[in-house]
Amino acid sequence: MSAIDIIQIVGLGLIATFLVIVVKEQKPVFAFTITVFTGALIFLYLIGEIQHIIQMLESLAAKANVDLVYVETVLKIIGIAYIAEFGAQIVRDAGQGAIASKIELAGKLLILTMAIPILTLIIETVLKLLPA
Amino acid sequence: MNHDVNTIFQIAGIGIIVAMLHTILKQMGKEEYAHWVTLIGFIVVLYMVITIIDDLFQKIRGVFLFQG
């Protein structure tokens, strides 16, 4: 099943690239929209597979008695990284490297903000281990 | 997925047709109309792209970020 899936995705990418090259001669704006659309389509296709992985991670965490809040935070961080990367790559493809860098900066900052509770917990644990 | 792949061809087709119309209208000496045709074609294509991006973001939200 997965072998056919990868062939489909590669075929999709090749066809989209071909169309982009054809359309770019006349109207670059439409070529750019094709790029965005193809990117979104492939992401959309992959998200179904990612859902399976995440479900497995969640069941593992439940079995290991890990607090669900931490798993949720990690998942949110992965989601932020995913969206930020998607946006930044599209914007950079359109030739706006500066805006792409800002999107990446925003993603990093938001991830850092979300990680603060976990970081605090780690530091507190280390401080508890240290002799007074 | 099959339904969505057709949209790529639709976008490319709209792009080529709009480019043709743009050239024809320019030859006829109606530059303003040519620009309007380009703009409207772009808005139609943008609507298609926005629809799928919205779908993608909703799914990402559902998978990674739970409720919000």
- pLDDT tens per residue across all 132 residues of chain A: 577 788 989 999 999 999 999 988 888 888 889 998 998 888 888 888 888 888 888 888 889 888 777 888 888 888 889 889 989 998 998 889 999 999 999 999 999 998 898 889 889 999 999 886
For chain B, what is the largest distance between any 2 Cα atoms, rounded to a whole number of angstroms? Answer: 56
Q: Which residues of B touch A82 (CB under 8 A)?
A: 60, 64
Q: Tokens representing B53? A: 């991006």
From A129, A88, A90, A123, select the one nearest A107 (Cα to Cα).
Answer: A88
For chain A, the domains span: 1-52, 67-132
Minimal C-alpha gap between A33 and chain B (Å): 7
Sign of CA dihedral A99, A100, A102, A106: positive
A84 in Cβ contact with A103 (< 8 Å): yes
From A23, A38, A36, A21, select the one nearest B22 (Cα to Cα).
Answer: A23
Minimal C-alpha gap between A119 and chain B (Å): 20
Test A19 with B56 for CB contact under 8 angstroms.
no
B21 interface with A at CB cutoff 8 Å: no
Contacts of B38 (CB under 8 A, 6+ apart): A27, A29, B18, B22
pTM: 0.81
B18 interface with A at CB cutoff 8 Å: yes
Q: Which residues of A touch B63 (CB under 8 A)?
A: 47, 50-51, 54, 79
Test A37 with B16 for CB contact under 8 angstroms.
no
Contacts of A51 (CB under 8 A, 6+ apart): B63
| ipTM of this complex prediction, to 2 decimal places | 0.82
A24 interface with B at CB cutoff 8 Å: no
Distance of alpha carbon A32 from alpha carbon A36, whole angstroms = 6
pLDDT of A46-78, one tens digit each? Answer: 888 888 888 888 888 889 888 777 888 888 888
